[in-house]
Amino acid sequence: MFIFALSFFLFGAIIGSFLNVFILRHGVKAISGRSACPACAHTLEAVDLVPIFSWLFLRGRCRFCGSGISIQYPLVELLTALVFAFIGVAPLTLTAQLAALPVAALLIAISVYDLRHTIIPDSWVVAFAGFSLVFSVIYLDLIHQLPAVVPLLLAGPFSALPFFALWYVSGGRWMGLGDGKLAWGIGWLLGPLYAFAAIISAFILGALISVFILLPLSSPVFWSFVKRFTPTGTSRKSAWGFTMKSEVAFGPFLATACLIVWISILYHIDPFAAVLGGPL
How big is the chain by its Cα radius of gyration, in Å?
A: 20
Q: What is the pLDDT of residues 62-114, one digit of tens each?
A: 888 888 888 899 999 999 999 999 999 999 999 999 999 999 999 999 999 99
Residue 216 is classified by DSSP as T
Q: What is the pLDDT of residues 232-279, one digit of tens each?
A: 444 444 444 555 455 678 899 999 999 999 999 999 887 665 444 444
Residue with the bigger pLDDT between 185 and 192: it is 185
- Whole-angstrom distance, CA of residue 96 vs CA of residue 137: 9
* Among candidate residues 118, 241, 255, 247, the one with its CA nearest the CA of residue 170: 247
Q: What is the pLDDT of residues 148-158, one digit of tens each?
A: 788 889 999 99
Residue with the bigger pLDDT between 176 and 18: it is 18
Confidence check: pLDDT of 224 > 70: no
Residue with the bigger pLDDT between 172 and 53: it is 53
Q: What is the pLDDT of residues 103-147, one digit of tens each?
A: 999 999 999 999 888 899 999 999 999 999 999 999 988 766 777
Exposure class string for 99-108: b at 16+ Cβ within 10 A, else e: bbbbbbbbbb
Biggest alpha carbon–alpha carbon distance for the chain: 61
Under 8 Å between Cβ of 104 and 83:
yes
CA angle 123, 117, 262 (to 5 degrees): 60
3-state per-residue secondary structure call for 224-247: HHHHHHCCCCCCHHHHCCCCCCCC
Q: How many CB atoms lie within 10 A of CB 280?
A: 12
Q: Is the dihedral of CA 164, 168, 170, 175 positive or negative?
A: positive
Predicted local confidence at residue 154, as pLDDT: 93
Under 8 Å between Cβ of 176 and 120:
yes
Question: Domains of the chain: which residue ranges?
Answer: 145-280
Distances (CA, A) of 265 to 72, 101, 182, 243, 261: 28, 15, 19, 36, 6
Confidence check: pLDDT of 226 > 50: yes
* Whole-structure pTM value: 0.86
Q: How many CB atoms lie within 10 A of CB 236?
A: 14
Rounded to a whole number of angstroms, the distance between the first and last alpha carbons of the chain is: 25
